[in-house]
C-alpha cells in the first residue's frame, strides 16, 4: 500500500490489478491484451443477443441480484454514468450513487480515501469517475490491502485514461470494420480487422483521455495505422507516442483533418477539453481544422466509420448524423453491452452467460 505507483513498471502495475489471473480492478487500458479484448467483445455480443428475448433478459436479470454497486462520480458525467447504471440493470445488480462530494461526509473533513473505504463496506463494486489522474488506481491498491477487497472500475480518471470507453470504442470498430451493415454479427472477434486500416484521432488529443486509452488497445492489432490530427499545442502525449513506437505501430502526426480524411477508414472526433485550461489558453486555437463538415463527405471512403465519445460541440456537422457512416449513437448503445460484459467478467459469471447463449442459439 505504501508503494509509490509511479516507480512501478506497467507490467507490475497491471499485475496488481488482477486476482487469480483474472481481471479484478479495471483501471488501465494496458490491462487488456488482444485475447481479453476479444473475449469481452464476444461476451458483449452474446449479452445483447440474450437480452433481446424476454426469457434471456430475465435470466440475465437474476445473475447479480445478490451484489450491489456504488457509482462514485465526482466529475460531471451523463453517458458513462447512465451506461453503467443500465449495465447494472441488465445484470439485475442494484446500485446507488454519490455524485457530489458536498453531500458526503467529506464536508465534515473526511478524506476521500476514507469515504471510499466506507463505501466499500456497503457495496460489492465501486465504479468511479474522478478528476485526479491515478486516484482510481490508488483506491484499487487501497482495496487490495483491505480484509474485504472489492473491485474498482475506472469510469474516467482526469486527463489520463477512460478504459471502459476504449473498450466500447474497439468493440464498435470491430463490429463496423468486420461486419459493415450487419446488426447481429456472429460473436467471433478473433480475426484482426485493423490490418491495413487507418484510424485518425482528431482534436484535443493531449487532454482527451478516451483517445489515450484507445491508442493503447489498438497497439495489439498488427497492421493498424494511427493518424493523430491536432493543433501542435494539443497533440498526443509523448508517453503514448513512445508506447506506439515500442510496439512498432505505424503512426503519423498531422494538423488538419481536411488533408487526411480521404485516407481514413475510421475517424475519431473529440471536443476541445477546455475545462482543463488554466487561463483560457485554448480559446485562441482555430478548431475548424479539427471538425468534420458536410462538404467533406465527398472525400469519405464508402465504409468510413465516424466516431465520437460525446458530448459533441461543433466537431461533426449535425447533417452528417443521418449518414450511415455516423456510428456515434451506436457507440453509446455498444457501451451498455460492453460494460455489462465487463461487470459480468469481474464477477466471474461470464461462463454462465456463454452457456445460456449457446443453449439458446445453438442450431
Q: Contact positions toward ligand ASP, by CB under 6 A? A: 156, 162, 209-210, 270-271, 309-310
Angle, alpha carbons 152-153-157 (nearest 5°): 110
Q: Which residue, 67 or 162, has its beta carbon nearer to ligand ASP?
A: 162
Q: State in angstroms the smallest separation of the CB of 93 from ligand ASP.
A: 22
Give the separation between CA 39 and CA 350, rounded to whole angstroms: 9
Q: What is the DSSP letter of 155?
A: E
Q: Which residue, 328 or 357, has its beta carbon nearer to ligand ASP?
A: 328
Nearest residue to the partner ligand ASP, using Cβ: 309
Q: Which residue, 206 or 209, has its beta carbon nearer to ligand ASP?
A: 209
Q: State in angstroms the smallest separation of the CB of 349 from ligand ASP.
A: 27
Q: State in angstroms the smallest separation of the CB of 159 from ligand ASP.
A: 9
Rounded to an integer, what is the distance from CA 149 to the centroid of its chain?
24
Give the separation between CA 331 and CA 345, rounded to whole angstroms: 20
Rounded to an integer, what is the distance from CA 10 to the centroid of its chain?
19
Cell representation of residue 88: 447494472
Q: State in angstroms the smallest separation of the CB of 311 from ligand ASP.
A: 6
Q: Which residue, 78 or 250, has its beta carbon nearer to ligand ASP?
A: 78
Q: State in angstroms the smallest separation of the CB of 207 from ligand ASP.
A: 9
CB 227 within 8 A of CB 260: yes
Three-state helix/strand/coil letters over 252-293: EEECCHHHHHHHCCEEEECCCCHHHCCCCHHHHCCHHHHCEC
Q: State in angstroms the smallest separation of the CB of 331 from ligand ASP.
A: 11
Q: Which residue, 228 or 357, has its beta carbon nearer to ligand ASP?
A: 228
Q: Which residue, 209 or 356, has its beta carbon nearer to ligand ASP?
A: 209
Q: Is 158 left (phi over 0), alpha (psi -120 to 50) or beta?
A: left
135-144 helix and 112-122 helix, angle to the nearest 10 degrees: 50
Q: Which residue, 26 or 353, has its beta carbon nearer to ligand ASP?
A: 26
Q: Hey, CA dihedral for 285, 289, 290, 292, is it positive or negative? A: positive
Q: State in angstroms the smallest separation of the CB of 271 from ligand ASP.
A: 5
Amino acid at each position: 500500500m505504501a508503494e509509490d505507483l509511479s516507480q512501478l513498471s506497467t507490467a507490475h502495475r497491471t499485475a496488481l490489478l488482477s486476482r487469480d489471473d483474472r481481471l479484478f480492478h479495471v483501471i488501465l487500458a494496458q490491462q487488456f491484451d488482444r485475447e481479453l479484448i476479444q473475449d469481452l467483445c464476444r461476451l458483449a455480443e452474446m449479452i445483447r443477443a440474450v437480452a433481446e428475448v424476454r426469457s434471456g433478459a430475465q435470466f440475465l436479470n437474476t445473475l447479480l441480484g445478490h451484489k450491489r454497486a456504488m457509482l462514485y462520480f465526482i466529475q460531471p458525467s451523463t453517458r458513462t454514468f447512465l451506461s453503467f447504471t443500465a449495465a447494472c440493470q441488465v445484470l439485475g445488480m442494484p446500485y446507488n450513487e454519490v455524485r457530489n462530494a458536498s453531500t458526503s461526509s467529506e464536508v465534515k473533513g473526511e478524506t476521500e480515501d476514507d469515504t471510499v473505504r466506507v463505501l466499500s463496506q456497503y457495496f460489492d463494486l465501486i465504479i468511479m469517475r474522478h478528476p485526479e489522474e491515478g486516484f482510481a488506481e490508488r483506491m484499487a491498491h487501497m482495496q487490495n490491502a483491505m480484509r474485504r477487497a472489492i473491485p474498482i472500475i475506472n469510469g474516467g480518471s482526469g486527463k489520463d485514461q477512460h478504459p471502459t470507453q476504449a473498450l466500447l470504442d474497439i468493440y464498435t470498430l470491430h463490429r463496423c470494420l468486420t461486419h459493415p451493415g450487419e446488426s447481429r454479427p456472429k460473436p467471433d472477434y478473433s480475426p484482426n480487422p485493423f490490418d491495413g486500416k487507418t484510424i485518425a484521432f482528431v482534436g484535443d488529443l493531449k487532454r482527451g483521455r478516451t483517445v489515450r486509452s484507445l491508442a493503447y488497445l489498438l497497439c495489439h492489432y498488427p497492421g493498424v495505422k494511427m493518424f493523430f490530427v491536432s493543433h501542435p499545442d494539443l497533440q498526443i502525449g509523448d508517453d503514448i507516442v513512445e508506447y506506439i513506437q515500442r510496439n512498432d505501430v505505424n503512426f503519423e502526426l498531422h494538423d488538419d483533418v481536411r488533408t487526411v480524411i480521404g485516407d481514413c477508414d475510421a475517424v475519431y472526433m473529440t471536443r476541445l477539453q477546455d475545462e482543463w485550461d488554466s487561463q483560457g489558453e485554448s480559446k485562441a486555437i482555430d478548431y475548424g481544422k479539427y471538425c468534420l463538415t458536410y462538404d467533406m463527405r465527398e472525400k469519405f471512403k464508402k465504409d468510413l466509420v465516424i466516431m465520437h465519445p460525446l458530448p459533441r460541440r461543433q466537431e461533426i456537422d449535425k447533417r452528417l448524423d443521418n449518414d450511415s457512416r455516423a456510428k456515434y449513437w451506436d457507440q453509446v448503445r455498444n457501451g451498455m453491452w460492453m460494460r455489462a460484459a465487463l461487470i459480468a467478467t469481474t464477477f466471474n459469471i461470464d461462463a454462465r452467460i456463454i452457456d445460456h447463449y449457446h443453449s439458446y442459439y445453438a442450431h
